[in-house]
Amino acid sequence: MFIHSEELIERMNEAGRAEKPFLFGIDFEMEEGFFLADPIVQQQVLFDIRGSSNMPQPQGEAPVHQFDAFPEDYAIYQSRFNAVMDGLKRGDSYLTNLTIRTPVSLSLSLQEIFLYARTPYKLLLPDRFVCFSPECFVRMEEGKIFTYPMKGTIDARLSDARRTILNDPKERAEHNTIVDLLRNDLSRIAAGVKVSRFRYVEELQTHKGPILQVSSEIEGKLPEDYRKQLGTLFFKLLPAGSVSGAPKSATLALIRKAEKERRGYYTGVAGYFDGSKLDTFVLIRYIEQQDTHHYFRSGGGITAQSDCRKEYNEALQKVYLPF
């Protein structure tokens, strides 16, 4: 099931030409991926991608559960933040996604979390990770491509939260940067790229209470034969700009220096092709398993205007269960 990225590209191209359904995923480093033909009929990997699913129906509501997080010390985060900030000041990057790895204690299994999660995109690789992502990467359908970069998070219970997040200068600058990056990325494979919705706000439910997230919608027109080169075109968009930064090459080097470890499938991309439409998502809101231990991966975008304490708190705010 697990294959190198070059083989994944070719298998996506072949399935696109044949208009045959498949499920796929690729890690952040674009080294390892997986490909499953006719994924609806298998139970090796469970998924629910905006209603296209092979998941069994959960019984009732999520059971009473325990979920405890043990965040890294602020000083450790601060050292990584400072490494990113040094790169920003040198001009290596003007937006860098910095992530953390938080040990968590769970009373639910990864499969139970998958089954009860309320989110548009869910994926379970048994004994490896569960993902319950709110963020679409790209959709390809009827000759068009759409992407929905998500940048900006705030506790929805705060007074005037919507206006606060939309008027925050740092959040506005970060969102503008990622929209510009994704618009340029789409222009590599599509024509007539435009921003059709800019900085709209959606509410997400978490076990700690509701949060607001800010997104935009960008679209373009694909080549007529895009299904015949589905994998080739798709990989030209990677890694996802919202979880890397800009400019990509120098920013990826800065991420490696600051984080000092591979991300693996976290912040990679997965998706489902139904024989006609391709719907993909960013692998965020992600719990990984290593032996008997579990780790919640989270992060956020850093710019020259970022405040370390606020970024640390935002990364921890994203450590939640979506039910």
| pLDDT tens sequence across 223-255 | 999 999 999 999 999 999 999 999 999 999 999
Residue 109: partners with Cβ closer than 8 Å, 6 or more residues away: none
Q: Is the pLDDT of residue 85 over 90?
A: yes
For the chain, what is the mean pLDDT? Answer: 95
Residue 266, H or E segment:
none
pLDDT at residue 189, as a whole number: 98
Query: Which residue would you say has higher pLDDT here, 208 or 114?
Result: 114
| Rounded-to-integer distance, Cα 196 and Cα 183, Å | 11
DSSP-H helix ranges across the chain: 5-18, 74-90, 110-116, 161-167, 169-187, 230-235, 248-259, 308-317
- Please identify which residue in the block is written with the tokens 């509701």: 210
Q: What is the pLDDT of residue 61?
A: 87
For residue 151, the model assigns a pLDDT of 86
Q: What is the DSSP letter of 229?
A: G
Work out the pLDDT band at 132, boundaries 50, 70, 90.
Answer: very high
Residue pLDDT, tens place only, 62-75: 889 999 999 999 99
- Does residue 276 contact residue 226 with C-beta atoms inside 8 Å? no
pTM value is 0.92
Evaluate the CA torsion angle 313, 316, 317, 318 in order and state its sign.
positive
pLDDT confidence band for 116 (50 / 70 / 90): very high
pLDDT in tens, 133-191: 999 999 999 999 999 988 888 999 999 999 999 999 988 988 999 999 999 999 999 99
Q: Determine the pLDDT at residue 58.
A: 87
- CATH topology for 2-317? Anthranilate synthase (3.60.120)
pLDDT for 176-229, tens place per residue? 999 999 999 999 999 999 999 999 999 988 888 899 999 999 999 999 999 999
pLDDT of residue 102: 98
